[in-house]
Amino acid sequence: MDKASEKSKDIEVEVIDESMNQVLQRDSALEMEMLELFEDITLEDVVLNKACVGKVVGCKDMPASVVKKILTGVWRRLGPWRMKKCEDGVMGFFFDEEDDCAFVLEKRPWIVNGVLLNLKPWPVEGEVRVAEFEVASFWVQFHGLPTRFLKDENAAIMGKKVGSFLNGWEI
């Protein structure tokens, strides 16, 4: 008798929880459905103004395949685009048209599955640093403000109350 068969042990199961078994099968099927293959893209494929980088902030374990599936629905009106999974949770987004990349960057912030997808233009030097994703710009609306306070100079004062104030054209 070899050593592998000496260490194996048969365990008798008295009860099988069929509902739990169905849940496990369903989850396994969903996981397989979410599995996608990502094509290999080199930096030579990146064209100026047709790429951006992003990182999901607030959820360490969101698979890139989930991000891609959600964005495929959200960005369905755009032309063809591809995604490359990079290191440290960073993802590269590559568009066939400059206008599509500009649209995606202009319409920031993007919320994916309830968390922020922080997008930035593709770095000129080509190297992505994770620290670049620690800050994100948001449009903020204030409601219920009396009409007499609706002045440009008050926008900066109110904006500084919630963070750093940026004019719309600085974003």
Whether residue 13 is contained in a domain is answered as: no
Same domain, yes or no: 142 and 108: no
User: In this structure, are 124 and 153 located in the same domain?
Assistant: no
Strand partners, 90: 55
Whether residues 77 and 159 share a domain: the answer is: no
The three-state secondary structure class of 57 is strand
104 vs 126: CA distance, rounded Å:
19
129, 71: one domain: yes
Residue 52 shares a structural domain with residue 129: yes
Higher-confidence residue of 12 and 64: namely 64
Q: Which of 101, 116, 121, 97 is nearest to 171 (CA)?
A: 121
Looking at the structure of the chain, the number of domains it has is 2
- pLDDT band of residue 163 (cuts 50, 70, 90) is confident
Write out the residue range of the structural domain in which residue 144 sits. 137-171
- Mind listing the pLDDT tens digit for each residue in 32-66? 555 556 666 665 555 568 999 999 988 777 888 99
pLDDT band at 171 (very low <50, low <70, confident <90, very high): very low
Residue 94 falls in which region: left (phi positive, over 0), alpha (psi -120 to 50) or beta? beta
Backbone angles phi, psi at 157, to 5 degrees: -65, -45
Alpha-carbon distance 71 to 69, whole Å? Answer: 6
